[in-house]
Amino acid sequence: MPPSVTYTQQPWAETYSEIIDVRSPSEFAEDHIPGAINLPVLNDAERAEVGTIYKQVCPFTARKIGAALVSRNIYQHLSQHFAAKDKDYRPLIYCWRGGQRSGSMALVLAQIGWRVTVLEGGYKTYRAYVRQQLEHLPEKFTYQILCGLTGSGKTYILGKMRQRGAQVLDLESLANHRGSLLGEEWQGTLLPQPSQKYFESLLLEQLQKFNPHQPVWIESESTKIGQVYLPQSLWEKMKQASCVEIQLPIAARVQFLLQEYPHLTTYPEILKRKLEKLKSRCGWEKLSRWYQLIDAGNWETLVQDILDSYYDPTYSRSIKRYFSQSQRLLFLQNLSDSSIDRLLDSLLPNCVALK
């Protein structure tokens, strides 16, 4: 006799062969359990079609058409994704509310003989869990804030810290944004940020990996990174944390920024459009000067002037307002490996580099 479908409201307490989100691609894109795969039983167009028929024609007709579409899509998944799964395969399945979509997939897989678990309440159960956890979990950690003017290599240094075994919360990586006007990530084209909900899912996943008995290193950020916001509980703890401030000569900062943002010199029109947003703060005369430097390819002078005129004053005001508890001030001549190693020897004397 095939095993029956089991239900859970705490999937994070178990381990599964795979987590399957059977919602439509757009629902999955907005947010999902990290690590889940998307095997929709109805795609976006099909879901809209069934919904329209349900409201405008007849619920019974909508259910018949929906059942046919779901059956066809499950067949496709069985013949492709599930074809190579062995008898010990044990998936967790969820949809929006743990109803018909997840139940349809679970019933078929259970009839084959797999041990299938359905998330009771579906995505809504998971989302409520994320919100509840982010209200309290950030308060369990002690944070160390790494401060420094733009171009000081804070994110780069945090990466070196992680290699030494330190606990690092890289918010900019989770947000897919470097937290400034020019901070959008680029890989051949500008990369989108995650939705607010998925950012929170990724943040929770990272926090749950940390040991509360060890400090968590984090870069000085504002409460908003690009278009996503930090949970209030995390932001309050960050403002209370002690800071280590990195100071780097401006020439070294300029060179580092040119290495980190090559797309802005490769695509100067994008840079001009972004700088135009500073017109109200810096004035048309300054903006015209920057445009001239861009046209002339005088990148070092341009970057230094932008730092002097906008970034440094803005960052200094923010640090004084939010991260005033600076305990250590450390000077670097450059961001070479040897300079950073000496810095980390003093900051992380007990951490051993990870192999």
Active site residue 95: yes
What would the pLDDT profile of 128-186 be if each residue is shown by its tens digit? 999 999 999 999 999 999 999 999 999 999 999 999 999 999 999 999 998 887 877 77
**Which among 110, 226, 212 has a CA at the least distance from the CA of 118?**
110
**Which among 195, 218, 196 has a CA at the least distance from the CA of 206?**
218
Q: Which two tokens stand for residue 8?
A: 């859970």
What structural domains does the chain harbor? 6-131 (3.40.250.10), 144-347 (3.40.50)
CA 76 to chain centre: 31
Taking the C-alpha atoms of residue 171 and residue 168, their distance in angstroms, rounded to an integer, is 9
Q: What is the pLDDT along the chain (355 residues), one digit of tens a residue?
A: 677 899 999 998 899 999 999 999 999 999 999 999 999 999 999 999 999 999 999 999 999 999 999 999 999 999 999 999 999 999 999 999 988 999 999 999 999 999 999 999 999 999 999 999 999 999 999 999 999 999 999 999 999 999 999 999 999 999 999 888 787 777 667 788 999 999 999 999 999 999 999 999 999 999 999 999 999 999 999 999 999 999 999 999 999 999 988 888 998 998 999 999 999 999 999 999 999 999 999 999 999 999 999 999 999 898 888 887 767 899 999 999 999 999 999 898 766 555 4
Output the pLDDT for position 355.
Answer: 42
Give the residue ranges of DSSP H helices in the chain. Answer: 25-30, 44-56, 59-79, 100-112, 122-136, 154-163, 171-175, 196-207, 232-240, 250-260, 262-266, 268-275, 279-282, 284-296, 299-306, 312-322, 337-347
In the block, residue with structure tokens 């019974």: 60
Beta bridge partners of 145: 218, 243
What would the pLDDT profile of 106-123 be if each residue is shown by its tens digit? 999 999 999 999 999 999
Active-site hit among 95, 147, 243, 282: 95
Cα dihedral: 292, 298, 299, 301 (round 10): -90
Taking the C-alpha atoms of residue 240 and residue 160, their distance in angstroms, rounded to an integer, is 24
**Which among 322, 303, 300, 323 has a CA at the least distance from the CA of 312?**
303
- Are 123 and 20 in contact by the 8 Å Cβ rule? The answer is no
